[in-house]
Chains A and B, each alone.
Chain A
Amino acid sequence: MPTSVAHATGLPPAVLDRLRAIVGAEHVLTTDGDVEPFARDATPLFRARPDAVVLPSSTAQVADVLRLATETGTPVVPRGGGSNLAAATVAERGGIVLVLTRMTAVKEISADELLAVVEAGVTTSTLADAAAARGLLYPPDPGSRTVSTVGGNVATCAGGLRGLKYGVTRNYVLGLEVVLPTGEVIRTGGRLWKDVAGYDLTRLLTGSEGTLGVITEITVGLLPMPETSRTGIAYFDSLADAGRAVNAIIGGGTLPATLEFLDHACIGAVEDFAHLGLDRSAGALLLFGDDGSPRDVAESLERMGSACADNGSHGVELATDVAGSEHLLAARRCSLPALSRLAPLTMLEDVTVPRPQIARMVDDIEEIARRHDVVCATFGHAGDGNLHPTIVFDADDVDARARAEKAFDEIFGRAMALGGTITGEHGVGAAKLPWLRQRLGDDQIALLRRIKAAFDPAGILNPGKLGS
């Protein structure tokens, strides 16, 4: 079944006039200079000039824009904070980049119902801070939380550092207000943890990468804020050793809030930026942490520290207070940008394997990198089996780039062979589309296309990406 895929070649003046009538002339950008900053996101090597950038301030405006786009066959690429790492917000077919950062209302924080209602353009940190001010926790904490929007987090099902104990964005999305490409405004789910009326469209839209609808308002579940949280660090000779310690920790019955690891190169890069006094000579570092009552947290850290020491760690340090723990976590969130200090171009991947396979996967990554002669640093969410191998090279080194691509291709193949996936939390976007069929198979790809066509008959939403 052929799907429509819209492709713009410049928008007619009449369409631009109607867009200006909808959102106001100052919120429709069309000049080369004005659209340039929206031609890319945080993905290297992907850029495409949109015909227009449109910044709506309300759901009604979004609906009017989408109705117009469907009527005129104009591509629309929704965008939040622009921190996407898979080029999901790059307008490869031209058309409109629809930026939701003006929709910034935190509409409700309910301590009684343990939920929050926010507009799509609210940043993840703003939501988390607003919840914390009421003694509540919004657990998903992607690395780019100060920039990324909740709408973008839902559209990509963002993960973060607390995935092991708390899950990822999808585990907290209770309800969505979504504008369909044809202009209808629907509300999926709601304020209920239990609700099985109909297909679970909330989950389908979570991680749909702006291909099925534009998310304008989100209702998220919250948790009571844990009394305290602490982290510690264990140093190892290799990432594989750290991976084995992770299995020992979880196999021993501890489900900690945080289990992150960094290899030797990452430790150096993070230390260059954050100056925390990390041991640069170590082969790898495991950052472990937990939250809860002070007694439970102390016990949990004690157990994890011992498990590390019993499994090859040659040094365990516990942060003495919450502030110290926060510094360690903040430094860990900066791993990717800090790694860019190593070379001008930084290509990051996001493979995920079943947890017991981590040690094997990191060994394989190192072997593959060696064989293709590329500089590869790896960090990741060890507790989730989620690895971010990052290859760095000079921008004009065409040969190194080709070798990096070959290496990543093998890394993807290896992850899938171990029962893993090509992306754990960054998404498919344009960057990982070439491997999607291999991951899902022909039948599922065909089903994705039928789902896409049901939502988006004119094929206007993020065309050429997921489901096209």
Chain B
Amino acid sequence: MRAQATEPRPPARPGPMVDRPTVLVALEGVSVELDERLILDRVDLAVHAGEIVTVIGPNGAGKTTLVKVALSLLAPTRGRVTVRPGLRVGYSPQQLAIDRAMPIDVRGFLGLGGPRGPAELGAVLEEVGLAGVERRPMRALSGGELRRVLLARALLRRPELLALDEPLSGVDVAGQLELYELIATVRRRRGCAVLLVSHDLHLVMAATDRVVCLDRHVCCSGTPEAVARDAAFLHLFGDRLARVVALYQHHHACRHDPPPGRDP
């Protein structure tokens, strides 16, 4: 678990306790049952303007379901979802499987979210570090490039809330660090809130304000540091976590340039 907060935090970001920032999305006592199986059990979660909330949990913990409920893609079986009226959401789904028979390039894909001029497309692609790929077919993109294009499409909506479901899937470790860096930069520059879901327990973005540890119910939540120490978290991921952290440290030792947000 990489949980320290060494990256300078944006001064403009409203502290959750200080000036009672706007709640963008709030889930209260949300339960979801599918096929008589309990996917989510009385989950409370609020995302405030400008904050980064990272939801972690093992496979089958209901993370994707949680995002879908928060985005009103799925109605909860019980509980209440409140979305601030008129909220602009940018969404990057967990998977994007474009059929072989669908001919579409990056420009066309980005244009599906709404009519955009070439200058706007060029600017957003540059922002996600993919300048000049407008004419590239979507199916020719690598895993990391695809994640960046999905992020670009979400950003084109000028979102107040960015919902990213497993934004690192299909990306190698070096690419994962770069993507986290990118997401942190985007938040700093645009001031949007980020709801990020990850099954990756050992790599939580340093810029995260709040970690929510999910295993159908909310095991624990708090600052990254607090969650890492929490007994419930250790119970849930205990041994595996120790192994994975060791692996991660090993990898880190091999790198010449330390990943951002990490003590030298």
| Mutual binders A and B | no
